[in-house]
Structure 1
Amino acid sequence: MKKLLNDPADIVADALRGMAAAHPELRVDSENRVVFRRDAPVRGKVGLVSGGGSGHEPMHAGFVGAGMLDAACAGEVFTSPVPDQVVAATQGVDGGAGVLHVVKNYTGDVMNFEMAAELVAAESDTEVVAVVTDDDVAVQDSTYTAGRRGVGVTVLLEKLAGAAAEEGRPLAEVADVARRVNATGRSMGMALTSCTVPAAGRPTFDLPEDEMEIGIGIHGEPGRRRVPLAPAREVAEMLVEPILADLDLTGGDGVIAFVNGMGATPLLELYLMYAEVAAVLEKAGVGIARNLVGSYMTSLDMAGCSVTLLRADDELLRLWDAPVRTPALRWGG
């Protein structure tokens, strides 16, 4: 294993220390391992809290800032944040308008966010609503979940719900936006290589040089099938066609198309993949209204990519175009 680290046991704490130094617009609670936007809590604004295991950067801490998350909890690598972390984050962003928890559908995440919400309710009158993402069409149940995994739609949801909250909408409306995004978005991923968890020091699974895994999870969970390496145009078909079979995305205002790198895939290959995804969608009669290309929800040093498609409408496109200022996403005024 070759990694830039001091001690594998300290990798999350050391990374948060670096994040605090690099982004003075954020506030890092090192004790609880929570990253806040510096002006949190914003009075009268719904607070957005998310989090999960580290190793998926920039998800989630890289999405903390105006127009997106108010706080993110960093668990150990591929390990859910504990309830106390979520409680600290929730209390730290409560501006009097309630708090939305954005939770990926992994058993530990769901359980710990639920426990945290119960603890907050016992200690205060803060209203907390949770929306769980479960957009992965690869498998119905997996190593870490009951039901579909929460993957790429989580990035889009945090942007769109974050924009709605920034407008000053009430908690019920922000939660409705989040639920609608989850209901109308689907994802599918693949891997060319495994990832290596620092504490383990070896690849999570063995993937021969001439094979790839289709339907992989973001923790290295197995997917639908293992197949021989294929050209990018065929990989695009393998990822897009199951999404289109699961959700009708034709007509209307098109889709927001997100091609995501898994951590070790260069942009050269991701843009190539986006061109192939766009070609598959054009052939299927699905228009692209907006796009996002890059490594935003990773699996440490895994090579591979995922595709997320979200059905667009006028409101979601307006929220997508709204300004956002975070370390990983930044556009607009």
Structure 2
Amino acid sequence: MTKIINDPQNIVRNMLHGFYFENKDRVSYHAKYNIVARKDLADAGGTTAVVSGGGSGHEPADFGYVGSGMLDIAVAGSIFAPPTPEQVLEAIRLVDPSKSVLLIVKNFAADVDSFLQAEASARAEGRSVDHVVVNDDVSIEDDATYTKRRRGVAGTVLVQKIVGAAAREGYDLTRLKALGDAVVSRLHTLGVALSPANDPTKGKPSFALEPNEAYYGVGIHGEKGYRKEAFSSSEKLAVELFNKLKRMYRWKPRDKFAILINGLGATPLVEQYIFANDIRRLCELDGLDIRFVKIGTHLTSLDMKGISLSFLQVEDEQWEHWLKADVRVAKW
């Protein structure tokens, strides 16, 4: 598949330079380590900086969420590979030593290892650092088991939004860590793909699908899903994802939820909104109290055609407040 790129080995650096070209009034770009930081980082309020990141190929995550009220710094790895511990440590070092740092990490083994190595190194330097691991994906291994995969996927964006807003209001590291963990515990995501991602650094698709085939539970790096079947309608996709999430929560009428409907890279807004309408009807049938809805392309898998559905049970009115709080970032 033809891609609008130059040298495949320079994709990340070229992309970040382009993002900086558009957003240099709000961010700084540290090219050596592929770090995007708030331009006003030195003057930002609060006691704790929020740092996140991961492999590239998931744009606009995570650099699109750098700014007041969300992330202070984002670190970009290679396509579908996390940043190195050295990169993450350099991001931590950009924060004034008088401040603490909270790392928000997606639950993939390589990501967790890289960020926690950097955390250990930063602590050895005398820095106050902690982390939240987001494990919102509830895809099952296959139709014969309910073992959950627990990868960190699109729900990460909701964690970043809530924690970032609380950090702006002055929450310290201990409170932010507890808040992040609480949000993650009530956050679940499930996705479906209609086409694979095509990684230009590898020159092949992430998995194989027949024409007009849907793949439930597939990962954002092309990890195995739990079932393939012929696509029939948006409504069928919505029912499958909704009912799987319903089993997780065992919700009751009037339970409060926030919803993120996320395009996986090549899904146009018209289709996202049709899917959202199907979810709306299902929520009404079950009598759910939906307090916040976000629809759009927020955490992708390159050019994958597909959609993910995240539900967050709103256990604290402050969570809703922070989800709705104004931010100054490029892509929220």
Where does residue 89 of structure 1 map in the other structure? 91
Q: What is the CA distance between 1:140 and its match in structure 2?
A: 6.0
Q: Quick one: distance in 2 between partners of 1:256 and 1:308?
A: 8
Higher deviation after alignment, 266-275 or 283-292: 283-292
Q: Provide closer, same or farther for how the CA distance between residues 276 and 13 of structure 1 changes in structure 2, counting only shifts above 3 A.
A: same
Aligned to 1:31: 32
Is 1:191 the counterpart of 2:206? The answer is no
Partner of 1:254: 256
1:201-248 Cα offsets, whole Å, 9 max, x none, are 221211000311001111111111111112111100111111110123
Provide TM-score, normalisation by structure 2: 0.94
Alignment-mate amino acid for residue 9 of structure 1: Q
Give a deviation string over 1:166-194, Cα, whole Å, max 9, x none.
00111111112111110111000000000
* Map of 2:179 onto structure 1: 177
Structure-1-length-normalised TM-score: 0.94
Q: Are 1:6 and 2:6 matched, yes or no?
A: yes
**Percent of residue pairs bearing the same amino acid type:** 37
- Residue 324 in structure 1 maps to residue 324 in structure 2: no
Q: Is the 8 A contact 1:253 1:314 kept in 2?
A: no
Residues in 2 aligned to 1:72 and 1:228: alpha-carbon distance in whole angstroms: 38
Deviating above 4 A after TM superposition, structure 1's stretches of 4 or more consecutive aligned residues are none
Q: Which residue of 2 aligns with 1:116?
A: 118
- Preserved CA contact (<8 Å) 1:43 1:96: no
SS in 1 for 2:205: coil
Residues 46 and 96, structure 1, Cα contact 8 Å, conserved in 2: no
In structure 2, do the counterparts of structure 1 residues 249 and 97 end up closer, same or farther at CA, with 3 Å as the change threshold? farther
Work out the CA distance in 1 between the residues paired with 2:246 and 2:183.
Answer: 16
Q: Which runs of 5+ in 1 are unaligned?
A: none
Tell me the CA shift for residue 127 of structure 1: 1.0
Partner Cα distance (2:255, 2:165) in 1: 19
| Native 8 Å contact 1:83 1:113 kept in 2 | yes
- 1:314 is aligned to 317
- Deviation for aligned residue 1:253: 5.6
Q: 1:259 touches 1:307 (CA, 8 Å); kept in 2? A: yes
What is the distance in 2 between the residues matched to 1:106 and 1:187? 15
**Equivalent of 1:62 in 61, 64, 72:** 64
Counting only pairs closer than 5 Å after superposition, residues 101-140 of structure 1 correspond to structure 2 as 101-123=103-125, 125-139=126-140
Unaligned runs of 5+ in 2: 143-147
Alpha-carbon distance in 2 for matches of 1:230, 1:249: 27
Letter in 1 for 2:68: A
* 1:268 maps to 2:276: no
Q: Deviations over 1:138-178 (max 9, x none)?
A: 1369xxxx951011210000000000000011111111211
**1:34·1:73 contact (CA, 8 Å) conserved in 2?**
yes
Contact (CA 8 Å) 1:253, 1:289: kept in 2 or not? Answer: no
Paired amino acid for 1:322 = A
Residue 237 of structure 1, aligned match among 223, 236, 239:
239
How far is the alpha carbon of 1:44 from its aligned partner? 4.3
Total equivalences in the alignment: 324
Q: Quick one: which amino acid aligns to residue 133 of structure 1? A: V
**How far apart, in 1, do the equivalents of 2:228 and 2:20 lie?**
40
Q: Counterparts of 2:97 and 2:72 in 1: how far apart (Å)?
A: 11
| 1:321, distance to aligned residue in structure 2 (A) | 1.7
1:195 shift after superposition: 0.7
Note the C-alpha offset of 1:43: 5.3
Structure 2 counterpart SS, 1:324:
coil
Instruction: Tell me the residue number matched to 1:20.
Output: 20
**In the alignment, residue 40 of structure 2 is paired with which amino acid?**
D
1:45–1:95 Cα contact (<8 Å) kept: no
Give 1:135 deviation, angstroms: 0.9
Structure 2 Cα separation of the partners of residues 14 and 106 of structure 1: 25
Distance 1:72 1:212 in 2: 32
